[in-house]
Structure 1
Amino acid sequence: MREGPRRFEDHPLRGAVLHEIHARPFLMMEAPRIVLSFAFMTDAAQSAAARGSLAALCARNGLPQPAADARHHVVDLAGGTLRWESHAEFTTYSWDVRGSAGALPADTPFGEAFEPPGPLMVAVRLDLVSDDRPVADILASYDPGSLAVSEVAGGRGVIASDFREDGDGYTRLLVIDRGFEPQEAGPVVQRLLELETYRTLALLGLPEAQRLQPEIRRIETQLVANTARFRSSEGFEANRRLLDDLTALAGELEAGAAESAFRFGASRAYSEITHLRLNAMSERPTPGYSSFTAYLARRMAPAMRTCQTVESRQQDLSRKLARAAALLRARVDVELSQQNRALLDSMNRRARLQLRLQQTVEGLSVAAISYYIVGLIGYLAKGSPVVGFELDPTHVTAFAVIPVALFVWFLVRRIRSRHDDGHGD
């Protein structure tokens, strides 16, 4: 029998969880090195298509193909290393090759034959160089108004960028090797690429917030106007129309909130990852330059606050609309109950009138039936000589009126009481 954990049955997800920690290992790098990195916005179908295209590329070049459910894959291609990763809403490609700063290699995986899986969001060129010149001389071609420079790895490296596109459409990042240890350059390069990717994706929430601001302002203005109408509106129909208006505003607000919820949540997550990557690099400011942390905080913080403010306004406005609608609904319910009460009172009055009419009809019916029965008795008295004795019809009729009337009255009451009992059941 096997000893140790091998003899136990594995959880279906144990392998995936164990391998996840090794999914994105840092690459060993040394200067000079050029890294090209792209991020494309993709949905599930586009991500699957990108995996299929990568598998076909690997097959044509005799390289290992990604698994059917793989979310990352690394192969040696075109003299460098190609890394592919699939994320929730974007797909990234990065390719690093040995080369010095200057013109790009002629043969890259992203030539005419490359099919982008979706719209391009991030395009980065990172140069890892070894240069002992002063930082100011190395960065002479960068925009000084947008330049961020920091020391990393205890001063054994310098990172710099002006976050602007060059003539080829790449955002330029620079890593200067000032004595990196063998395993230090790779983590710095990877974290810097991820920093640029996630800070760009974090800012996607800003256009959404700017789009929603006029709509939220319009709903706030209409809420104020409807609140004024609420104080002066009277009558069931007026309050019902006002309630319909408030419900329509709430529907519009909730639709906008539902559309933006994912985008704002993703921006928060990307912003947090950006800060985590900055903290992991343990940067130190370079005298005379803004650090990456300070630069990104100054540029990203207002955008993130705008997203947070719009989201807070949505939530606050939703609560206000809900309270106003609840108050108005209570007023409508009260007015509706008053109408129902008036209707019931009217029905009660009609029932009483019907009862009186019924009692009147009963009295008339007793009199009519008694009249006919007494008449029959009178006719019988007139025919008494036929049976051998003679009765005075006048006296018989007179004596029969009261008993007949009482009998008929009793019979009518008995019939009515049985009907009443039947209705009660």
Structure 2
Amino acid sequence: MPPIEDHPLRYELSNELHARPFPTVGAEAEAIWLAIKRPNDAAARDREADRQHLLALLDRHGAQHPQPGATHYSGKIGRHDLKWESHTEFVTYTILSAGLGERPFDPAIWAALPEDWLAAAPGQRITSAQVRILKRPGNDATITQALRDWFEPESLAASAVLDDSAVIASDFRIDAGGHMRFAIFAGAGTGPARIGRILQRLCEVETYKAMAMLGLPRARDLNAAMARIDGGLSALLDEMSQETAAPEAALEQLLTLATDLETLMSRAAFRFGATGAYEAIVNQRVQVLRENRFNGHQTFAEFMMRRFDPAMRTVKSTERQLRSMTDRAQRASDLLRTKVEVGRSAQNQEVLASMDRRAALQLRLQETVEGLSVVAISYYGVNLLAYLLAPLAYRAGIEKPTLTALLVLPVIAAVWLLTRRIRKAMH
């Protein structure tokens, strides 16, 4: 193939598809999972602070550093395998340890993450989990007894996954150590790669479930404010139907309510949008496990349907209600603006009619003044002409009163024509 210039992002985009490979885990192992998130949605994540926190852990074990700007890392810290991933809102740490302790879910494995290092984390724990991976015994009764000992029966979910290659279980409760518990019983023919995929899916289900649940308290907080605004909006709409209501005052109140609604919408938009995305990921991760019922226990999908889906429906309902109230306020605002504009148009018509009446009066007054002006000018014009022509009239034998009488009509006519010509020229 002849040489051709590559797009500058070609390799970066291709490598992104392979950036987060599944871990490989043996059938006798333990794993812990930690997700750290900034406490405030509005506060942007400091990715450099997250990276420096990772480097502090690696330096304790003399491990190699990731590349600058990396969003994932895999390596060994002591006798453990570490996997670090940077996501949009959180970072995750996965610690894999070969072999099983004598005590199920022994918290000693958490010593891989020192307490002072955890205390210096640039964020808060959104979730943490401990996973115990065992070989699946030939007798399922043994698994059932272990599940009774490790988990709360009331919320226990267990299922056979990936064509019965493993059994997974959890009660999705926080134990005394502050962690979720998961168990994986891998079948004899299940290889490390498949076990790693199952482990990754379980950790993703837990993490994205926790992130999605952040939308529920936000929805509950909004309900009180929405109820107050809804009451004010309903009362305002009732007042709008009355003839005595002042549209200008109602419009000002409505704009205040609409502003409050837009503020609520802007504050909740990111969290509600993220909740919807995380919910979709949770459902997809559960679906790809291809669950089958195990010994009559509820499956992970059934647990999510009973416990997780109602919370998500509450969030979606709150979001729909908020959007509906915003649309109502917008429609009411449009109606009020129309009412105000109609009222102002009527006022403008009255003003124009009043101006027309005043113009007509001014015209009549002007005509009256013009008539009086013609009389006054004619009076002075007649007198002036009488004084001017008196000597000539005396020689002709015409008396002054007669001369004055003869001059009145021509002077008046001349003054009237001159005034008319001036007004016509001005217009």
TM-score over 0.5 for the pair: yes
Say whether 1:112 aligns with 2:116: yes
SS in 1 for 2:261: helix
Q: What's the counterpart of residue 362 of structure 2? A: 354
User: 2:33 and 2:114 mapped to 1: Cα distance?
Assistant: 10
Please say if residues 34 and 100 of structure 1, whose CA atoms lie closer than 8 Å, have aligned partners that are also in contact.
Answer: yes
8 Å contact from structure 1 (residues 26, 190) kept in 2? yes
**1:220-369 equivalent positions in 2, closer than 5 A:** 220-234=230-244, 238-369=246-377
Asked if the contact 1:149–1:291 (Cα under 8 Å) also holds between the matched residues in 2, the reply is: yes
Gap change, CA 1:401 and 1:346, over 3 Å in 2: same
**Match for residue 404 of structure 1 among 400, 403, 411:** 411
Deviates more, 1:17-26 or 1:129-138: 129-138
SS at match of 2:354: helix
Which runs of 5 or more structure 1 residues have no equivalent in the other structure?
Answer: 421-425
The Cα shift of 1:74 comes to 1.4
TM-aligned CA distance change 1:223 to 1:33, over 3 Å:
same
Amino acid in the other structure paired with 2:295: P
Q: After alignment, is 365-374 or 389-398 more displaced?
A: 389-398
Q: Could you state the TM-score of these two structures normalised by the residue count of structure 2?
A: 0.91
Runs of 4+ in structure 1 displaced over 3 angstroms? 42-45, 55-64, 382-386, 388-392
2:422 pairs with 1:415: yes
Matched, 1:30 2:40: no
Aligned CA distance change for structure 1 residues 209 and 84 (closer, same or farther; 3 Å): same
Give the C-alpha shift of residue 383 in structure 1: 4.5
Q: Which letter does structure 2 place at the counterpart of 1:68? A: P
Native 8 Å contact 1:381 1:391 kept in 2: no
| Percent of matched pairs sharing the same residue | 37
Residues 409/67 of structure 1: CA separation in 2 closer, same or farther (3 Å cut): farther
CA change 1:181–1:66 in 2 (3 A) is closer
Q: Does 1:161 align with 2:170?
A: yes
Task: Provide the TM-score with structure 1 as the length reference.
Answer: 0.91
Partner of 2:127: 122
Matches of 2:126 and 2:109 in 1, distance apart?
Answer: 23
Unaligned runs of 5+ in 2: none
Distance across 1 between alignment mates of 2:242 and 2:72: 64
Structure 1 residue 289 displacement after superposition: 1.1
**SS of equivalent residue, structure 1 residue 105:** helix
Distance 1:356 1:55 in 2: 95
Question: How big is the shift at 1:86?
Answer: 1.2
User: Within 2, Cα distance between the matches of 1:367 and 1:315?
Assistant: 77
Q: Alpha-carbon deviation of 1:391? A: 5.4
The C-alpha deviation readout for 1:268-301, integer Å capped at 9, x for no partner, is 1111101111111112111231111101111011
Contact 1:381 1:393 in 2 (8 A): no
Give the Å deviation of 1:267: 0.8
**SS at the partner of 1:155?**
coil
Deviation, 1:309, is: 0.8
Q: Does 1:81 find its partner at 2:81?
A: yes
